[in-house]
Amino acid sequence: MNRRVVITGMGVAAPNGVGLKAFSEALKKGKSGIKFQPELERLKFRCQIAGKPEISEEMLKEYFTDLELRGLNSSGIVYGVISGVDAWKDAGLPFGPEAETDWDNGIIFGTGILGVDKFREAIHLIDDKNTRRLGSTSVVQTMASGISAYLNSKLACGNQVTTNSSACTTGTEAILMAADRIRAGKAKRILAGSCGDSGPYVWGGFDAMRILPHKYNDNPQAGSRPMSESAAGFVPGSGAGALVIEDLESALERGAKIYAEILGGHINSGGQRNKGSLTAPNSEGVKKCIGNAIFDAGVRPDELDTINGHLTATAMDPTEVANWSETLKLRGTKFPYINSLKSLTGHCLSAGGSIESVASVLQIDEDFIFGNINSEDLHPEIEKLVPRKNVPEKTLFKEVNIVAKASFGFGDVNAVVIFSKFRD
């Protein structure tokens, strides 16, 4: 079987907007969600800025019962449930206590690390010989698949329900895993996405590696600078993105809104060879991933309207653009538009691929290309390959038909997905 696969619902909890409407407006306005974090200053982090979704107490009560909120101490679960439930509702699917198990529905919702604050709380209680105070939810909040378990308590899915984890590639990988399962006829619809915790216990390791910028603590919104010559490292972020991936026949049968079609994609690894490592991609693997994704999608390179790159604001940005140029065999004015959401949100780590995929699909659905703030000093190695106008600083409002979304993660793992406007 090779069924067509479409997107019928989306939800997002991003540093610059929670909910589709707020997120879309932030993209179009070039609104950054990166802010100074007093806690990081108190803990003497070099980098004291980060992207963190703003969730009010009132919003929490819309998604969780009072009983669920008692002892809930995992920001990743909060972000994941908000984005996942929103996507399910957006797709017009039943949820809540009255929903019955649907054997055609599944969940593939990834994370990198979950429940860090709950772990910390548990360690102190155990060290103090106070295990009785751990509570009944400490296990589900700290197991990786806790996010898919929480979501399924609300969605009643009877198909595959699982959690994947592949560093920064997690969210894009989840989308492709869901698409593959639906293409094969093993499910009709799957909630796919990813989430990540926020806070010093997630970001501290990166600060210790000295790969985060430290000169923008007094100017947070200027700190994340993908494709810029003055890029000084990635700004850490967090949140969640969710997409309902569905069999086209099912979507048409129930009259669902179709945001976009998933034409294809590819997942691979560079094997940590040929300059690939735990922290850097093997360019050969990246180029194979891009090329195989284009082939799987059945599109020509010159049909891409824009690339939503991984592009983290590190020294690897020029290499990534070169990998795209070499694989597509396009440069200069023939190279597609290219952007990086990380200029507006920071690098949301395991949540990045799914949040950025929501942004990619919104560009198709609403016909715009969001701008790259802080790219006024475009890196000269990038400008040799891509003209300045194809790296827009401000949002362009124009027809967008095909978008390539890439994620390249720690461990030398890669994923590229190709989204398209739905055509009958």
Are 305 and 168 part of one and the same domain? Answer: no
pLDDT digits 0-9 by tens, 211-244: 999 999 999 999 999 999 999 999 999 999 999 9
Determine the pLDDT at residue 119.
Answer: 66
Last residue of a domain, one of 228, 260, 292: 260
- Reply yes or no on whether the pLDDT at 359 is more than 80: yes
Are 243 and 338 part of one and the same domain? Answer: no
pTM for the complete prediction? 0.96
Q: Name the residue with tokens 């802080």.
A: 374
Last residue of a domain, one of 213, 230, 260: 260
Q: What is the mean pLDDT of residues 7-15?
A: 98
* pLDDT classification of 1: cutoffs 50, 70, 90: low
Q: What is the mean pLDDT of residues 358-370?
A: 98
Are 25 and 133 part of one and the same domain? Answer: yes
Task: Name the token pair of 423.
Answer: 């055509």
Determine the pLDDT at residue 357.
Answer: 98
Last residue of a domain, one of 217, 242, 260: 260
Determine the pLDDT at residue 126.
Answer: 74
Are 299 and 219 part of one and the same domain? Answer: no
Total tally of structural domains belonging to the chain: 2
* pLDDT classification of 131: cutoffs 50, 70, 90: confident
Determine the pLDDT at residue 140.
Answer: 81
Mean pLDDT of the chain: 95
pLDDT digits 0-9 by tens, 344-353: 999 999 999 9
Determine the pLDDT at residue 124.
Answer: 67
Are 248 and 267 part of one and the same domain? Answer: no
H/E run at residue 9:
strand 5-14
The least confident of 130-134, 248-252, 381-385 is 130-134
DSSP structural state of residue 168 = B
- How many percent of the chain have pLDDT more than 90? 88
Are 179 and 160 part of one and the same domain? Answer: yes
Are 240 and 272 part of one and the same domain? Answer: no
pLDDT digits 0-9 by tens, 170-181: 999 999 999 999
Domain residue limits at 194: 5-260
3-state secondary structure of 186: coil
Are 253 and 272 part of one and the same domain? Answer: no
Are 281 and 383 part of one and the same domain? Answer: yes
pLDDT digits 0-9 by tens, 153-196: 999 999 999 999 999 999 999 999 999 999 999 999 999 999 99
Determine the pLDDT at residue 61.
Answer: 95
* pLDDT classification of 362: cutoffs 50, 70, 90: very high
Are 173 and 222 part of one and the same domain? Answer: yes
Task: Name the token pair of 97.
Answer: 């206590």
Report the CATH number at residue 320. Answer: 3.40.47.10
Are 385 and 411 part of one and the same domain? Answer: yes
| Residue 98 burial (CB count, 10 A) | 7
pLDDT digits 0-9 by tens, 82-103: 999 999 999 999 998 989 999 9
Are 253 and 318 part of one and the same domain? Answer: no
Determine the pLDDT at residue 12.
Answer: 98
